[in-house]
Amino acid sequence: MHNFKAATGLKNRHLQTLYSTLLRKCPPIDLEVQQFELADGDFVDCHWYQKPVQDSKQPIVILFHGLAGSFRSPYIQGIMQHLHKKGYASVLMHFRGCSGRANRTARAYHSGDTADAKAWITHVQKSFPESALFAIGYSLGGNMLLKLLAEYRDSSPLSAAVSVSAPVQLQYCATTMQQGFARVYQRYLLKPLKKSLQQKFRSHDYASLIGLSVRGLKKISSIEQFDDLYTAKIHGFSGAQEYYQKSSARQYLSQIQGNTLIIQALDDPFMSGKILPDPSQLPANISIETPENGGHLGFISGNLFQPQYWLEQRISHYFSTANSSS
C-alpha cells in the first residue's frame, strides 16, 4: 500500500499531472451545499457528499482544494466517492470565491489563511460531536492545512490529516512555476484567478484599496506577480516576499502534534523534494512519503486502460489505521 508504482505509460511527471487534471472522468455525484457564514460578514460554500444525520457517529473527512480548485475538480470528486465506499462522509470547504459564486468582501484566500478552515472545522465538530474528524489538503490547501495543524498544537480536533503535493516553500514554488514547461501550468492556473478578480472589480474599488487597476490586472503574467499585486496586498502583506515567508508551512512542521501524513512526489513539476525537511528532523507523529513519480496531484497506478488511483487508497488506509489506534 505504501509503495507507489506509476501506471504503465504514465510514468512521466507531466502525464501524471495532466491525466489526473484533464482526462480523469468521475461519475456525477449529488452534493448538498451548505453556505457557512464567517465572522467578517463573508461566506464560504461547503459541499457535502452524503451528509450525516444528526447524532451520527459516522466519521467525517473535511477537504481543502488547491489553487483555483472546486467541487468540480476530479481529485475532489474521486476522493469523495472513494471515501463514501469506505464508510466516511465528506465535505469540501471551498475557499472564498471558489465555488462559482463571488464572495462578498474585497479579499479572497491565500496559502497561509487558516481562519476560515478553523471556523468550519469547529462548526462541523459542534454539529457532529460523536463523529471522528479527518482532513485532507491538496496543493495550496495542503500548505494551509499543515500550517493550521501547527497552530492547533495539542488541541487539534482532527484524528488524522493528510497533505498532498503541498507547496510548503512558496517562494521556491512560485519561481519554479516560471521555468520550462511549468509555465504552461502557470497560465492554466492564472487565467481563472484573473477572470474571477476582474469580475469583482464591479463591486470593489481595488485601485483605491491596493492600487490595482483592471489594466494592471490584465498585464499580470505570473502567479508571483498576481500574489505581489493582489493576494499579498489585499491580505495585509507588504508584497509577495513577506506573504510567502510568513505563509510557507515548512517552518511550522515541527510544531504539529497530531497524526499527519505528507505525500509529495519527487518529480512534482510545481516543485521538488528539496522543499521538504529531512524526516529525521520531524516528530514521530508526522510521516513523509516521497514516491519517485506521481507528478502534481497525480499518483495514478495500473495502466492507461485500467487506471488505479493509488492516492485515494493510501489516504483511506492511513485514516483507518489512525482511527483504529486512537
pLDDT in tens, 58-86: 999 999 999 989 999 999 999 999 999 99
Domain positions in the chain are: 13-169+248-325, 170-246
30 given a catalytic annotation: no
Residue 258 CA: distances (Å) to CA of 94, 118, 255, 290: 23, 15, 9, 20
280 given a catalytic annotation: no
- Among 111, 139, 156, 159, the active-site one is 139
Alpha helices in the chain (DSSP H): 13-18, 74-85, 115-127, 140-152, 170-176, 182-200, 206-210, 214-219, 223-226, 232-234, 240-247, 310-325
- Among 111, 156, 296, 316, the active-site one is 296
List beta partners, residue 137.
64, 163
- Among 113, 227, 268, 316, the active-site one is 268
pLDDT bin (cut points 50, 70, 90) of residue 322 is confident
pLDDT bin (cut points 50, 70, 90) of residue 305 is confident
At residue 135's C-alpha, the angle toward residues 79 and 140, to 5°, is 80
**What is residue 324's predicted lDDT score, i.e. its pLDDT?**
67
Q: Which three cell numbers stand for residue 92?
A: 469540501
CA distance 99 to 116: 15
pLDDT in tens, 218-229: 999 999 999 999
The end-to-end CA distance of the chain, in Å, is 21
Mean pLDDT of 21-39: 90
**1 pLDDT above the threshold of 60:** no
**2 pLDDT above the threshold of 80:** no
pTM: 0.96
CA distance 97 to 108: 7
**95 pLDDT above the threshold of 70:** yes
94 given a catalytic annotation: no
Best CATH choice for the domain 13-169+248-325 from the list 3.40.630.10, 3.30.300.170, 3.40.50.1820, 3.40.50.300: 3.40.50.1820
